[in-house]
Structure formats: C-alpha cells, structure tokens
Chain A
Amino acid sequence: MAETKRIATRDSYGKALAELGRENENIVVLDADLADSTRTSVFRKEFPDRHIDCGIAESNMMSIAAGLAAAGKIPFASSFAMFAAGRAYEQIRNSIGYPHLNVKICASHAGISVGEDGATHQCNEDMLLMRSIPGMVVINPADDVEARAAVKAAAAYEGPVYIRLGRLAVPVVNDEESFTFQIGKAVTLREGNDITIIATGLMVERALQAADQLESQGIHARVIDMHTIKPIDREAILSAARETKGIVTAEEHSVIGGLYSAVCEVVCAEAPCEVAPVAVMDEFGCSGAALDLLELYNLNAKTIVEKAKEILA
C-alpha cells in the first residue's frame, strides 16, 4: 500500500477558503492575529481586501462577523478553538446564534494535540460549548478530504456553523473520488456487527487502527466517522445500538459534552446499549509533543480496543 498522505485539517481549510473566495465575492475572512497558524493567510495572499485581521480581540471579531452577515456577507471567522469557542462564547451565542446569522466559525488548534503550548491553549471543551447553542451546526472533520468538503458545505449552508480544525497532520482516510459530504450524515468507514466504534476528528485514524487489531482477534468492528456532532446522525447511532453489541466513542475532547454525550443522548432515549468513552477525562492537558500527549491521555487505538473488549466481555 502506498504511503498515506498526512495533512493537517487547518491546511485543508486554508486551501478550501481560497477556492471559495474565487467562487463567491461575498466570502469575507476574519482572523485575530493568527492568520498564519489558522491558515487564513492562504486566503489573504489571494484576496487581501477581503481578509480582515481584527487583531487580538476575538470577542469583537465574532460580533463584527455578525454585523457582516446581517449585511449580506458570508464571514469565516478564525482563531484557536480556545479563543473562538471559549473566550468569545457569549458573542457567538448572542450576536450569531440567537439571530441565526450566516457566520462560519472555523477554529484551529482544537484539542490536546496543540502540544507544547499546554493546557491554556488546548481546548477540550469547544464541541460542548458550540453544541449547546440552538441552531449551531458543529463539524469536526477527520481528514483533508472531509475538511475541505465541510468548509464548502458550510459556505453553502445558510446559518451558523462551527468547524473544528487541528494543528497536527493527520492521514487521509477518505477517498476523494468516491467521497460525498452531507452535514449531519455520518460516514461508515468499515462494516461490522460485533461492536461499533464511533469516532470523530483525528480519532478516526485510531478507530481504524483499533478495528484492524480487533479484526485480527476475530472481532468485527463497525467504524463510523461522525464528522457532524450537531445535528448528529441519529439513524447511524441507532442502527449501531441495535445491530452491534455496544458502542465505543472516540474523541479528542472532554468526556463531558462532546461526542460521547451526544451519542449517549440518542441511545438513552431510543435504544439503550452500553457506551464506553475514549476521551479526555475531566482534567486539563499539559505541555508535550502532540503524539506523546495523545498517548498520555489514552487517546489511542489500544484504549479503544480495551473498551471494546470490556463491552464484549
């Protein structure tokens, strides 16, 4: 097998933005002094007049985005997840969410894989925060193919969208030729009826590795790439709950309020089954190399396999 390409989803974002900029002159991009890190600099290079650097003022940036949208523009506002979803939460809720304005919040450097910057910059709570806002779409792409498709789908959708992007280069798991992206429609990457692994973001790669390990032990795992956290694909979850013996969720996010919570909310109401989380437990991150941190916080294939076997035991 040829070596898999590794691309950070923030790079996919920059590329997709520039393409969108060529297609639609109403696309305006906002950043808060992180244009190189969030990759909005790719758009800025081509469309400097439509790239607005707001300086280090994320709250102001989000409300400016609301004003731009109210006047017919399609603003993409970017910062690190911590400062977009975290610092500017209330601006997003009240200025963007409540009036259901057409703002796309694309936040990079989400999760523990921010790495060396440590706990202050590792946002493990953004999906929880954004998911709690009525009418907000929340997308967490797994790879380059999905991230670019998600950015385009967000631009085509009328209403507020939050897209979670990573700093770390991740392998391309989807096939560009056959891939179709629909907001709220999960991608089943592998069929299987013993156990289901529902993963999101960079944990999709680890879910596939876990499925391989389980397969070698005769356990057929279904792998679902849940790129949209809200509205979540209830049908895919309910089928998994009914057709397999349980669900392991895998996310680079706090166990509180993210994918695990969203899946539990669905199964509890309609098809109770055992659900085990692989997530950041209720704790802060720390400094270190991204890949080492993923191991330290048990965000790996090994833990997914263990959880799956516990359910099957």
Chain B
Amino acid sequence: MEQTRKRELQKIANRIRQGVLEATFSAQSGHPGGSLSISDTLAYLYFEQMNLDPSNPKWEERDRLVLSKGHCCPALYTALAEKGYFDKSELKGFRRIGAMLQGHPDMKNIPGVDMSSGSLGQGISAACGMALAAKLSGKNWKVYTILGDGELQEGQVWEAAMFAGFRKLDNLIAIVDNNNLQIDGKVSDVCSVYPIEDKFAAFGWHTISVDAHDFDSLDAGFKEALTITGKPVVLVQKSVKGKGVSFMENNAGWHGKATNAQEYEQAMGELKAAYAELEVE
C-alpha cells in the first residue's frame, strides 16, 4: 500500500498499543498480550476498511465489528477513542467501578461497541446473526469478527462456522488472531487447533492467510475478502502476542497481567521510541 498511508496506520497502531498499556496499567488488570497482537488489525479495520460514522454510533448502514475475543478490549477501546467515539481519558477508568469501560465489551454503555462479548465462542455466532439480518433486509453492510486462536477450542465456534458456511454469509469476515499462545501455554501444546485454514475451508469458508503486523499483507487480505461472494471469509493472521513490547512478545505470561511501574515505563519507552522513528521517516 501507499507509503504515507501505511506510515499513518502504523502510527495509529502504535497509539493503540500505548492505549493498551495505559489502560491495563491504570487498572492494574486486563489483557495486554492479545490486545497488542490485534492492534495493527484494528488500526486497519477502523481507519481503512470499515464504513463508519463515529458521530452516529448506531447508524444503521454501518459495518459492524464483534470482538469475539472480548478480553482484548483495551485495543478496541483505544481504537474507538482514536476514531472519536469517546474521549481518550476514559482509558484511565478501564475496569474501575463507575467507569464506562468495562472489563469486557459492553454494547449498552460504550459508544461504538456493536456487541457485548467476553464469553469465548459467542461473538462469532452473534456476528452470524448480524450478517443474517443484513441479508434478510437486503443491506450491504459487512460484519467483522475477531477471534483468538485458543478460542477455536470452543465448540460453539464450529457451530457458527457450519452455519455461516451453509448460509453462504459472504458479508461476514472473521479474523483469527493466531499468536499461538493461550493462558496455559502454546495453543499447539494445550489442545491444538491446527490446521486452522483447512478446518474453516471444510466448513465452506474462503480462507486467506496474512501477517498481522504487515500492513501490505493486511491490505491485500482485506481487499481480497471484499471480492469474495457466496462464502464467508476468514483471515487467519499470524501474529505475535505482546507485539511491540520486547519483554511481552511471545510470552504467555502477559496474557492477563498488567505491568508494574517500572515495566510500564520501559514498555511505553519502547513504543514512544518506535513512534518517534515513524515520525522521522
């Protein structure tokens, strides 16, 4: 994709990562690892791909996104704040009593959140329901849903995959965040979900493999997704859990743990240095 635009998306993704760190540090709780692995994808979706109107969050013609791996909402919340759905200062209240930003997405109270989620496996089904609603009403809007790779262990994911394939929901685009780590360790050690692409293909999906941290790859993948008719599409993105923070990368320990003050300083330092480089280039 065009260099200036790519640089802009990289900067947005970097700011999403900073938001993830800020929110989880402030809460002293939350899920930084998997949030960092989807930050580039959310930057692409919210700033390049999706048809949205932040001044009208419930706009009927909008594209929808269901964060099926709802625990990674620090990244979603920051993307929404970046997009202008609410003020970035809300991130500091993440997971606190009385604050808007709940520990998992809450569609009732958070502008821009299209579906409450958090209990794994349910988001993709809800996304199927939305896609079906669009089909029934003859609407052209798209539904995106992001799943974790560990989440694929939930049987409901495959009930939904069967349904979407059978119903030919070509307005549904799922993203599997394949960072190969879950709480108890490597996905391939705990209860392997591989081969991911073959499983979805067997259920009648069109599959695309992308690099989650390369905007050219994401760009090609999402552009291809929009050309597919007659089948739902899944982008299986190879990603790095904790991407962007050296000590978090590929470390399952950072699945659901916040940084202490020293770690926070180091992490933010790394992200800010990377941001400065993006501004210079």
Give A residues with C-beta under 8 Å from B.
Answer: 28, 49-50, 52, 54-55, 57, 59-60, 62-73, 75, 90-91, 94-95, 98-100
Contacts and interface: CB of A to CB of B under 8 A. Distances in A.
6 contacts: A60-B159, A63-B125, A70-B107, A94-B116, A94-B118, A100-B108
B126 interface: yes
Given A59-B159, A64-B160, A71-B130, 19 more contacts: A50-B136, A59-B155, A59-B156, A60-B128, A60-B163, A63-B125, A66-B125, A66-B129, A67-B115, A67-B132, A68-B130, A68-B133, A70-B107, A70-B114, A70-B115, A70-B130, A71-B137, A95-B125, A99-B107
Given A60-B163, A72-B133, A67 B126 contact: yes
A67, A71, A75: most-surrounded residue (chain B CB, <10 A): A67
A75 to B, nearest CB: 8
A67 B163 contact: no
The 6 closest A-B CB pairs, nearest first, are: A67-B129, A63-B125, A71-B133, A60-B159, A67-B126, A64-B129
Contacts of B121: 59
A63 B163 CA distance: 12
A73 B119 CA distance: 23
Contacts of A70: 64, 107, 114-115, 126, 129-130
Contacts of A50: 136
Contacts of A55: 162-163
Contacts of A63: 122-123, 125-126, 128-129, 156, 160
B134 interface: yes
Contacts of B115: 66-67, 70, 95, 99
Contacts of B184: none
Nearest to A69: B129
A93 B123 CA distance: 13
Given A49-B136, A94-B119, A98-B116, A68 B129 contact: yes
Contact of A60 (B116, B136, B156): B156
